[in-house]
């Protein structure tokens, strides 16, 4: 596929491979034929370092998530639907966190137990 390049009334139809040749010639003119291999090595090393850093970051994030996979369920209460009262809401949260309480437990006591479980 050609892309026309306009120079006044003169039209050049330059294809993709022809652009590569033009760019390569421009690089040789700018850097010289002896600097091109050095420039290529430098770009290759930079790309390699980027890939290495990317993989290291990715593995660290995965390892960090593995340590907290059990705690995620612990920290996020399983609430199924709407509740009719504050006490029912607190009881649902306490149940999902595995807190043992009785019917005589007050709302404030439930709040304290939930807070202690959530914060350590």
SS3 label, residue 7: strand
Give the global pTM: 0.36
pLDDT digits 0-9 by tens, 32-56: 888 888 888 998 999 999 999 999 9
**Annotated domain spans of the chain:** 77-120
- Between CA 80 and CA 89, with CA 93 as vertex, the angle to 5 degrees is 75
SS3 label, residue 43: helix
DSSP category for residue 120 = -
**73 vs 49, higher pLDDT:** 49
DSSP result, 34-61: THHHHHHHHHHHHHHHHHHHHHHHHHHH
């Amino acid at each position: 596929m050609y892309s026309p390049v306009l120079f006044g009334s003169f039209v050049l139809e330059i294809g993709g491979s022809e652009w590569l040749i033009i760019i390569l010639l421009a690089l040789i003119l700018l850097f010289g034929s002896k600097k091109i291999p050095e420039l290529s090595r430098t770009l290759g090393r930079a790309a390699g370092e980027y890939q290495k850093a990317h993989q290291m970051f990715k593995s660290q994030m995965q390892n960090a998530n593995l340590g907290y996979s059990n705690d995620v369920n612990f920290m996020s209460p399983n609430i199924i639907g709407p509740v009719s009262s504050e006490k029912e809401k607190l009881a649902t949260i306490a149940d999902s966190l595995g807190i043992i309480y009785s019917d005589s437990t007050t709302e404030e006591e439930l709040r304290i137990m939930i807070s202690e479980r959530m914060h350590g």
